């Protein structure tokens, strides 16, 4: 029999990695922190940098390689920091530049790299660049944003849509023109066709590299350029309809976004980004691709070779179904479409419903959560873990009056927005606001149903979800084959079972997952002999070469030669 207990497994801090190791990011595990919701130190109900710094030991104890901070720049907060009004300063809600420097210093002392969000496809409408641009059609920054004349009847220049609903064009009475905004009207799109804009943005990025950050997560990286011809987007073909980029209720899905994003000119700019990063050895880049019809093709373009981005992530696993067919198809598609590229994998983040809620049948949340991290950390690519998923948090149910997200307010109740995955971390079950804040009211409520999953409760339970995450991250770190090895999806599996092999220089791991709520038996192919590999497998037994899976059972074994 092959059952596994976590009681004897010890957590450890990340292994030392020299800054000279330029490829530390390849196969790395990155922990995403949503600063508003991680730890509030000053008692205003909103998380801050000092709070994050105070919790970095917890992050390091997970065994991860890096933290990714969602935006902390100066912002009117119309989209909670993804509308930047000053790229070189910290918003007072989060603290100061000195607080940021102390965070980076402590993270580095703990062996953690620091990656920060860079939101450069658009700025806030309060940014001085836009304030100047909108004054006239002849000022020095007149073409720093995307402006266009109306049609003769006064309507917008074309049919392009905003992801947040409605037209992507906003009328401005000063210039008597429309400006483009792929998101909120308060987030005007920068004009990357202007070389001066590119130069300015690269200068802003250099500011943070000089401050010691280890890389950038590039928000909406395929949105930088638009077609200068402003051609209308065609309707999407029925067979290509996909809701991975926007919820089903959003008409944005009805267009093939052929002209408003993902333009070929982006390649040359991304090479400039890579050249900048190469000036700072050991730094990295993660691009977010939002393109329902062409994301794998774009990922291949953006990460192939050594002069493009280091890695990109798509929405294949941030939506979609939890099924063998979906995962097998997606894994194979990445291998075929981007053999020279590199994907960054995630099941949850700050923009999507938490994956346990998306995927788990009622009553199987804990089982699926344990399997999901084993699956995520044995797939090929780098990995992002979103704060709270290591506790098994589900999507919070919020009342309409508690919503803050403009996206959810626009499409309520069919789509409830992103607030349900952004609620505060729960540190202590029996402390005010779960230990997140001393405030009487936090920016989003602390869900009562999350308190029983608080960190302090899971620290005391030997086989908790938190300990599963720590053990699985450790297992990945100790097995180089999971960083760099090839992946081969197997076809000889029974219904409901996904299996693949990871191989590197004679070292091979066999990974199998019963992705259903039914018990399944599986005998791997003849001549395949397995032995325990030390992974935190769950709900599975191996006897006489046969795997007996319980619901959402997992097995990871080492392949040995001969019986």
Q: What is the pLDDT of residues 89-122, one digit of tens each?
A: 999 999 999 999 999 999 999 999 999 999 999 9
pLDDT at 220: 96
Gap between the Cα atoms of 188 and 229, Å rounded? 19
Confidence (pLDDT) at 148: 98
Distances (CA, A) of 9 to 6, 466, 467, 471, 538: 5, 12, 9, 7, 15
pLDDT band of 188, cuts 50, 70, 90: very high
pLDDT for the residue numbered 204: 98
pLDDT above 80: residue 164: yes
The one catalytic residue in 16, 153, 239, 279 is 279
Quote the pLDDT of residue 337.
86
CA distances (Å), origin 495, targets 325, 367, 385: 10, 19, 28
Amino acid 237: pLDDT: 86
Cα end-to-end span (Å), the chain: 17
Q: What is the pLDDT of residue 526?
A: 67
Q: Is the CB of residue 311 less than 8 Å from the CB of residue 284? A: yes
Report the distance separating Cα 45 and Cα 423, nearest Å: 11
C-alpha closest to that of 24 among 380, 386, 483, 342: 483
Mean pLDDT of 210-222: 98
Instruction: Reply yes or no on whether the pLDDT at 483 is more than 50.
Output: yes
Q: What is the pLDDT of residue 6?
A: 36
The count of other CB atoms within 10 Å of the CB of residue 177 is 18
Kindly report the number of other CB atoms within 10 A of residue 3's CB atom: 10
Q: Which two tokens stand for residue 483?
A: 């960083």
The residues that bridge with 520 in the sheet, in sequence order, are 549
DSSP states along 99-114: HHHHHHHHHHHTT-EE
DSSP string over 165-182: SSBSEEEETTTTEEEE-S
CA distance 363 to 517: 10
484-525 pLDDT tens trace: 999 999 999 999 999 999 999 999 999 999 999 999 999 998
pLDDT digits (tens, 9 = 90+) for 252-303: 999 999 999 999 999 999 999 999 999 999 999 999 999 887 888 999 999 9
Q: Where are the alpha helices (DSSP H) in 377-505?
A: 406-411, 448-451, 455-459, 465-478, 481-484
Mean pLDDT score, 237-247: 82
- pLDDT level of residue 527 (50, 70, 90 thresholds): low
- Is 404 exposed, middle or buried (CB count within 10 Å of its CB: 0-12, 13-18, 19+)? middle
Contacts of 173 (CB under 8 A, 6+ apart): none
Task: Write down the catalytic residue from 117, 219, 291, 316.
Answer: 219
Maximum CA extent, the chain: 79
Contact present, 103 and 115 (Cβ < 8 Å): no
Provide the pLDDT confidence category of residue 537 given band limits of 50, 70 and 90: confident
- For residue 209, is pLDDT > 60? yes
> In this predicted model, what pLDDT tens digit does every residue of 404-463 receive, in sequence order?
999 999 999 999 999 999 999 999 999 999 999 999 999 999 999 999 999 999 999 999
Question: Across all residues in the chain, what is the average pLDDT?
Answer: 93
Q: Cα(482)–Cα(505) distance, rounded to whole angstroms?
A: 12
Residue 233: both structure tokens together:
């987007």
Look up 279 and say whether it is catalytic.
Answer: yes
Of 64, 15, 42, the residue nearest 387 (C-alpha): 64
Bridge partners of 115, per DSSP, are 68, 215
For residues 260, 265, 269, 271, the Cα torsion angle rounded to the nearest 10 degrees is 130
In this predicted structure, what is the pLDDT of residue 3? 31
Give CA 63 to chain center in angstroms: 18
Q: Provide CB contacts within 8 A for 235, sequence distance 6+.
A: 254, 255, 256
Q: Is 478 a catalytic residue?
A: no
Residue 122 DSSP SS3: strand
More confident position, 220 or 295: 220
Place of tokens 């994050």: 52
Contact yes or no for 118/217 (Cβ under 8 A)? yes
Query: Percentage of the chain surpassing pLDDT 90?
Result: 87
pLDDT at 2: 35
Name the DSSP class of 441.
S
pLDDT confidence bin for 563, thresholds 50/70/90: low
- pLDDT, residue 15, reads 37
For residue 75, give the DSSP letter. Answer: -
If pLDDT is split at 50, 70 and 90, which confidence band does 10 have? very low
Tokens 């939002």 belong to residue: 290
CA distance 456 to 345: 28
Helix 295-303 vs helix 266-278: crossing angle, to nearest 10: 40
Instruction: Map out the domains of the chain with their CATH numbers.
Output: 29-122+195-477 (3.20.20.80), 487-560 (2.60.40.1180)
Per-residue pLDDT at 18 exceeds 70: no
Cis peptide before 413 (omega within 30 of 0): yes
Closest among 65, 19, 11, 25 to 286, alpha carbons compared: 25
């Amino acid at each position: 029999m092959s059952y596994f207990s976590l009681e004897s497994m010890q957590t450890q801090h990340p292994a030392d990695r020299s800054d000279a190791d330029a490829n530390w990011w390849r196969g790395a595990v990155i922990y995403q922190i949503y600063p508003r919701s991680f730890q509030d130190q000053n008692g205003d109900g909103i998380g801050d940098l000092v709070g994050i710094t105070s919790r970095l030991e917890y992050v390091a104890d997970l065994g991860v390689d890096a933290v990714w901070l969602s935006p902390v720049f100066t912002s009117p907060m119309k989209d909670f920091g993804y509308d930047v009004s000053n790229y070189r300063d910290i918003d007072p809600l989060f603290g100061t530049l000195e607080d940021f420097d102390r965070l980076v210093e402590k993270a580095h002392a703990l062996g953690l790299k620091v990656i920060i969000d860079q939101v450069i496809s658009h700025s806030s409408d309060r940014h001085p660049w836009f304030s100047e641009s909108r004054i006239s059609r002849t000022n020095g920054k007149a073409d720093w944003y995307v402006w266009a004349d109306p049609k003769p009847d006064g309507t917008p220049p074309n049919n392009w849509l905003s992801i947040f609903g409605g037209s992507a064009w906003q009328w401005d009475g000063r210039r008597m023109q429309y400006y483009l905004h792929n998101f909120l009207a308060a987030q005007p799109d920068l004009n990357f066709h202007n070389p001066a804009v590119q130069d300015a943005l690269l200068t802003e990025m250099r500011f943070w590299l000089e401050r010691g950050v280890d890389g950038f997560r590039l928000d909406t990286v395929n949105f930088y350029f638009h077609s200068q011809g402003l051609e209308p987007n065609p309707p999407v073909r029925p067979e290509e309809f996909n809701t991975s980029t926007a919820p089903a209720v959003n008409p944005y899905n009805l267009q093939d976004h052929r002209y408003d994003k993902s333009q070929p000119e982006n390649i040359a700019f991304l090479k400039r980004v890579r050249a900048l990063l190469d000036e700072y050895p050991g730094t990295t880049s993660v691009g977010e691709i939002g393109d329902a019809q062409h994301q794998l093709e774009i990922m291949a373009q953006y990460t192939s070779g050594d002069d493009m981005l280091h890695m990109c992530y798509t929405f294949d696993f941030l939506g979609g179904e939890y099924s063998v067919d979906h995962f097998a198809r997606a894994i194979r598609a990445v291998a075929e479409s981007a053999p020279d590229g590199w994907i960054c994998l995630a099941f949850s983040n700050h923009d999507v419903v938490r994956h346990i809620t998306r995927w788990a049948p009622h009553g199987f949340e804990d089982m699926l959560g344990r399997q999901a991290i084993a699956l995520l950390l044995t797939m090929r690519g780098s990995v992002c873990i979103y704060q709270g998923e290591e506790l098994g948090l589900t999507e919070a149910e919020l009342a309409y009056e508690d919503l803050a997200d403009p996206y959810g307010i626009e499409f309520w109740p069919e789509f409830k927005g992103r607030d349900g995955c952004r609620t505060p971390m729960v540190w202590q079950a029996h402390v005010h606001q779960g230990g997140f804040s001393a405030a009487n009211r936090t920016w989003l409520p602390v869900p009562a149903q999350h308190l029983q999953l608080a960190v302090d409760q899971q620290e005391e339970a030997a086989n908790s979800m938190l300990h599963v995450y720590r053990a699985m991250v450790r297992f990945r770190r100790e097995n180089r084959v999971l960083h760099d090895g090839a992946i081969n999806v197997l076809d000889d599996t029974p219904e409901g079972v996904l299996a693949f092999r990871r191989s590197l220089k004679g070292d091979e791991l066999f990974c199998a997952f019963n992705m259903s709520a039914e018990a399944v038996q599986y005998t791997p192919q003849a001549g395949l002999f397995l032995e325990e590999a030390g992974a935190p497998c769950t709900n599975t037994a191996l006897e006489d070469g046969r795997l007996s899976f319980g619901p959402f059972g997992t097995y990871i074994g080492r392949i040995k030669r001969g019986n």
